[in-house]
Amino acid sequence: MHPLTKVMLLVALLLFLQACGTTVHPGERGVRGNLFTDGVTTEPLKSGFYWRAPWSRIDVYNVQWRRYTETVEALSSDGLPVTIKTVILTRPTPDEVSILAKNVGSDFYPRAVKPTLLSTVRSAVSSYPMITVMEHSPEIASQVEAVVAEKLRGRHLQVASVTIVELALIKSEPDVVEGARAKELSEFKFIAVGKNARSLPVLP
């Protein structure tokens, strides 16, 4: 056999063997599954190199803590819009990655974390008048963190913290008070005009 042919065969063999193996790095977990079924193994694979059959696969999950930033549009208890920028520190539960892969999938953040975070922030903000949201932002963040952590624990995800890093109110407190007074005055004028209108004679 020609030496060049041997080299080419050796390279092809190495590429084939490499394609049949997956490296799981530190800070990751692997989940072994079957290409033809949805079945996965229950024991996560820790860091190392793993051989796999051509009909199987190994999905790798990052289990290190990662930060995600979300901007949430919420309504206060008095129906005024508040924009809140939050940062959540979360990760998959390392020993439960196989269950996460089966029940949620690798897109766990958009499917589980994000909607839970957004709905919880909106619910928490709706308990406070707009002019007190800024004052109670640490309390709101603590409430959100506790609720989100509890909900995601059942979905095999961990939450280290939820922080409010930016908060924008649509109006300042004096503007809100003036707006409320203006609304009351407008309603009073409307009622007064309505009463006066009933007493005016109808012109021919």
What CATH number has the domain bearing residue 161? 3.30.479.30
Q: What is the pLDDT of residue 168?
A: 92
Q: What is the total count of domains within the chain?
A: 2
Mean pLDDT of 84-100: 96
Structure-model confidence comparison of residues 44 and 70, the more confident one: 70
Is the pLDDT at 118 greater than 60? The verdict is yes
Query: 161, exposed or middle or buried, with CB in 10 Å at 0-12, 13-18, 19+?
Result: middle
* CA distance to 73, 77, 111, 136, 167, per residue, from 173 (Å): 19, 15, 37, 15, 14
Asked, for residue 41, whether it belongs to a domain, the answer is yes
d(CA 153, CA 149): 6
Share of the chain above pLDDT 90, in %: 58
Do residue 97 and residue 10 come from a single domain? Answer: no
Tell me the pLDDT tens digit for each residue of 180-196.
444 444 443 444 334 44
Asked, for residue 194, whether it belongs to a domain, the answer is no
Q: 192 with 140: CB under 8 angstroms?
A: no
Mean pLDDT of 172-180: 50
Structure-model confidence comparison of residues 195 and 130, the more confident one: 130
pTM over 0.75: no
Q: What is the pLDDT of residue 58?
A: 87
Asked, for residue 115, whether it belongs to a domain, the answer is yes
Q: What does pLDDT average to over the chain? A: 81
Do residue 18 and residue 92 come from a single domain? Answer: no
User: What domain range is 148 assigned to?
Assistant: 66-172
Do residue 53 and residue 113 come from a single domain? Answer: no
Do residue 126 and residue 111 come from a single domain? Answer: yes
Asked, for residue 150, whether it belongs to a domain, the answer is yes
Do residue 58 and residue 77 come from a single domain? Answer: no
Phi, psi (rounded to 5 degrees) for 165:
-105, -15
Q: What is the pLDDT of residue 50?
A: 86
**Domain-terminating residue out of 16, 33, 62:** 62
Do residue 164 and residue 74 come from a single domain? Answer: yes
Structure-model confidence comparison of residues 192 and 117, the more confident one: 117
Do residue 86 and residue 155 come from a single domain? Answer: yes
Is the pLDDT at 204 greater than 60? The verdict is no
The sign of the dihedral angle between the CA atoms of 159, 163, 165, 170 is positive
